[in-house]
């Protein structure tokens, strides 16, 4: 796909909501004449629509919401996608109201009462037609598998064989068995230039480097998914090389990264290197073609706390499967914790000759809190809980540099600790208020349109799902599902932000293996970062979909600030697609034999 021109330029133009509305006024006859969407045509064409829907699918019994950005539309019908125009369901559209991130009015289309499985279209009285609407059981199962399989595609030091990777098979890259100690990481037993080995792990994102802090939250998120929905994941076959063994595939995939993380610890003092990278970002070619030297770059306190938290969690999860590995994880966690307690203020500082990602964090009280809670849960030692109680850290929707709430997730899920449950409840209620303030229940504010905004949506959804599991309220579940809908197409860009899914998926992610191969289709199951109002990549791209924050998106390979992929974005996507699917599968009505 390297060098390919953006294919959807036309569509970008038309997706401007103003132009959309103009088009609608000009062509109502066309769409009202019962035209159906031709799937084989340019997928972009099927989305020149003011109706935003989840393009992947809704479960029959689920709350079903779409959005319309045409304030003239008052009523809608649902018809067969391939059939006559007989309305199968009719409804009125909600009151339009201004949605700030789009700088335009939007309204809710609620078709929750329509529960018939099949492929349909939503049509409005103004002549607009949606992308195909899919209603079926297990609607999100394949998505939930692909979101985890994406981690397999990003394995470092590993050949991807056709049996598992299909057309995306590739030779192994970055063996990382000859990693140099950078000057910033030199110690007495490992002086500058000494060689260590730290193979495996996942590439962080569009680049081929490996960073502890970002690995930590990603690994934790996947482990928590397993901890909360073990039955679902025990039955999930990801078709990875380890699929035949006795360990659930999700955990096999996570172990690929844990093994690498363990090698990021200096066995002599317990300190953890912040990252393993080349000095500069490598070019966008296939991984096996590269051999720039790779370095261990400085030990940092945030890396050590983050590592300690994840290893303590891994200890708990692995205990029933492999006691020896579980023990290794716990010892590593304690060693890292001790190093961090003795070296409390070593923040990451990018050395002058290093130009890769920083993941630098100035406030590490949240990392400290999180590590203390996980060590308490792993060891049952009160002293860790006392430390946790003594730390006053900010709590909110998590991200790579904001991990405080993860400690509460674990305490609430493992121990039903009332304080932690109420912290989570309070944050979830904030999100409910935000979603309900928006006429179309899009609980994203201007300030959420940062680098990786789709992961902000995914992490909000994850928070609501955890709140739902802890307190049983159904509204948290509906709003959590709706954030997934947002990612899957219920948004103004017209895109499903997961590669390989939906009527109009993102096609040109900033992901070096996809940029470096000859295939048109990007690797599937990856979540694009999404609209980023800060537009850091403005000088590299041909333009964004629009001026509004929610339209600051560009489906071009060069757009690393709106269209990169990253493990800390795919992890919450994996969590929410798996959790929603698990919960809905468990609550599905028994199949009616008279159906179909």
Task: Catalogue the active-site residues.
Answer: 207, 510, 555, 564
Longest distance between any two alpha carbons in the chain, whole Å: 78
- The residue written with tokens 């380890």 in the block is 242
C-beta of 50 vs 549, nearer to ligand 9MR: 549
CA torsion, ordered 354, 360, 362, 365, to nearest 10 deg:
-140
* Shortest separation between residue 559's beta carbon and ligand 9MR, angstroms: 9
The footprint of ligand 9MR on this chain (CB under 6 A) covers a number of residues equal to: 15
C-beta of 325 vs 540, nearer to ligand 9MR: 540
- Judged by phi (left if over 0) then psi (alpha if -120 to 50, else beta), residue 449 lies in beta
Contacts with ligand 9MR, 203-242, as mask; x by CB under 6 A: -xxxx-----------------------------------
Contacts with ligand 9MR, 164-203, as mask; x by CB under 6 A: ----------------------------------------
Nearest to 182, CA basis, from 343, 350, 366: 350
On whether the CB atoms of residues 553 and 202 are closer than 8 A, the answer is: no
- The residue written with tokens 């290093």 in the block is 354
* The one among 74, 227, 319, 358 contacting ligand 9MR by CB under 6 A: 358
* The one among 43, 452, 572, 578 contacting ligand 9MR by CB under 6 A: 452
* Shortest separation between residue 540's beta carbon and ligand 9MR, angstroms: 6
* The one among 101, 127, 357, 578 contacting ligand 9MR by CB under 6 A: 357
CA distances from 433 to 109, 429, 509 (A): 19, 6, 33
**What is the footprint of ligand 9MR within residues 280-299 (CB under 6 A)?**
281
Sign of CA dihedral 575, 578, 584, 587: negative
C-beta of 173 vs 357, nearer to ligand 9MR: 357
* Shortest separation between residue 444's beta carbon and ligand 9MR, angstroms: 16
Contact range with ligand 9MR by CB under 6 A, out of 237-245, 355-363, 427-435, 493-501: 355-363
C-beta of 21 vs 356, nearer to ligand 9MR: 356
* The one among 431, 482, 564, 581 contacting ligand 9MR by CB under 6 A: 564
How does 182-212 read in b/e, with b if 16+ C-beta sit within 10 Å?
Answer: bbbbeeeebeeeeebebbbbbbbbbbbbbbb
Nearest to 450, CA basis, from 504, 508, 400, 389: 400
Asked if residue 302 binds ligand 9MR (CB under 6 A), the reply is: no
Contact range with ligand 9MR by CB under 6 A, out of 62-70, 220-228, 352-360, 439-447: 352-360
C-beta of 65 vs 449, nearer to ligand 9MR: 449
Asked if residue 556 binds ligand 9MR (CB under 6 A), the reply is: no
C-beta of 354 vs 371, nearer to ligand 9MR: 354
Dist. CA 276–CA 198, nearest whole Å: 8
- The residue written with tokens 């090698």 in the block is 263
C-beta of 256 vs 451, nearer to ligand 9MR: 451
Helix H or strand E encompassing 110: strand 104-110
Q: What is the 3-state secondary structure (H, E, C) of 285-317?
A: CCHHHCCCCCEEEEECHHHHHHHHHHHHHHHHH
- Tell me the HSE value of 340 on the side-chain side, using a 13 A CA sphere: 28
Helix H or strand E encompassing 32: helix 28-32
* Shortest separation between residue 404's beta carbon and ligand 9MR, angstroms: 17
Question: 3-class SS at 180?
Answer: strand
Asked if residue 581 binds ligand 9MR (CB under 6 A), the reply is: no
Dist. CA 313–CA 330, nearest whole Å: 9
C-beta of 154 vs 478, nearer to ligand 9MR: 154
Residues that bind ligand 9MR (CB under 6 A): 204-207, 281, 357-359, 451-452, 540, 558, 560, 564, 566
């Amino acid at each position: 796909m390297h060098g390919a021109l953006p294919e959807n330029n036309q569509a970008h133009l038309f997706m401007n909501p103003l132009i959309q509305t103009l088009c609608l006024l000009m062509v109502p006859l066309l769409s009202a004449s019962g035209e159906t969407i031709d799937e084989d045509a340019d997928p972009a064409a099927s989305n020149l629509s003011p109706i935003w829907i989840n393009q992947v699918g809704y479960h029959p019994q689920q709350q079903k919401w779409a959005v319309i950005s045409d304030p003239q539309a008052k009523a809608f019908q649902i018809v067969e996608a391939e059939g006559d125009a007989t309305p199968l369901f009719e409804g009125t559209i909600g009151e339009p109201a201004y949605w700030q991130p789009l700088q335009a009015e939007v309204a809710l289309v609620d078709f929750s009462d329509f529960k018939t499985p099949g492929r349909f279209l939503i049509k409005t009285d103004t002549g607009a037609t949606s992308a195909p609407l899919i209603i079926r059981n297990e609607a999100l199962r394949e998505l939930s598998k692909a979101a985890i399989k994406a981690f397999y595609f990003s394995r470092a030091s590993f050949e991807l064989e056709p049996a598992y990777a299909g057309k995306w098979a590739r030779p192994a890259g970055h063996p990382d068995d000859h990693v140099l100690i950078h000057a910033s990481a030199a110690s007495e037993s490992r002086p500058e230039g000494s060689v260590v080995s730290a193979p495996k792990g996942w590439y962080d994102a569009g680049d081929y480097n490996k960073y502890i802090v970002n690995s930590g939250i990603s690994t934790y998120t996947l482990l928590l998914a397993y901890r909360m929905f073990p039955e679902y994941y025990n039955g999930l076959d990801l078709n990875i090389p380890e699929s035949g063994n006795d360990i659930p595939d999700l955990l096999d995939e996570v172990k690929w990264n844990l093994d690498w993380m363990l090698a990021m610890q200096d066995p002599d003092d317990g300190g953890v290197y912040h990252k393993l990278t080349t000095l500069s970002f490598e070019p966008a070619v296939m991984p096996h073609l590269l051999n720039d030297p790779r370095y261990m770059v400085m030990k940092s306190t945030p890396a050590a706390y983050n590592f300690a938290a994840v290893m303590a969690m891994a200890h708990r999860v692995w205990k029933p499967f492999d006691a020896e590995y579980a023990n290794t994880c716990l010892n590593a966690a304690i060693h890292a914790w001790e190093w961090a307690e003795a070296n409390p203020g070593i923040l990451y500082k990018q050395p002058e000759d290093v130009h890769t990602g920083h993941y630098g964090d100035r406030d590490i009280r949240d990392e400290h809190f999180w590590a203390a809670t996980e060590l308490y849960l792993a060891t049952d030692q009160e002293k860790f809980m006392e430390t946790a109680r003594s730390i006053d850290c900010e709590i909110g929707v998590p991200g790579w540099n904001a991990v405080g709430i993860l400690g509460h997730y674990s305490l609430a899920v493992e121990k039903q600790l009332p304080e932690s449950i109420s912290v989570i409840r309070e944050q979830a209620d904030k999100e409910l208020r935000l979603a309900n303030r928006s006429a179309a229940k899009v609980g994203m504010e201007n300030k959420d349109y940062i680098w990786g905004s789709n992961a902000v949506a995914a992490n909000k959804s994850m928070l609501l799902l955890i709140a739902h599991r802890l307190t049983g309220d159904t509204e948290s579940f509906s709003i959590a599902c709706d954030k997934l809908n947002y990612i899957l197409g219920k948004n103004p860009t017209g895109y499903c932000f997961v590669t390989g899914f939906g009527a109009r998926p993102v096609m040109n992610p900033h992901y070096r293996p996809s940029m470096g191969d000859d295939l048109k289709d990007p690797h599937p199951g990856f979540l694009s970062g999404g609209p980023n109002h800060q537009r850091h990549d403005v000088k590299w791209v041909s333009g964004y979909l629009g001026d509004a924050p929610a339209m600051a998106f560009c489906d071009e390979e060069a757009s690393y600030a709106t269209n990169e992929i990253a493990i800390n974005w795919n992890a919450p996507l994996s969590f929410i697609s798996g959790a929603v699917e698990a919960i809905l599968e468990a609550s599905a009505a028994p199949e009616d034999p008279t159906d179909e």
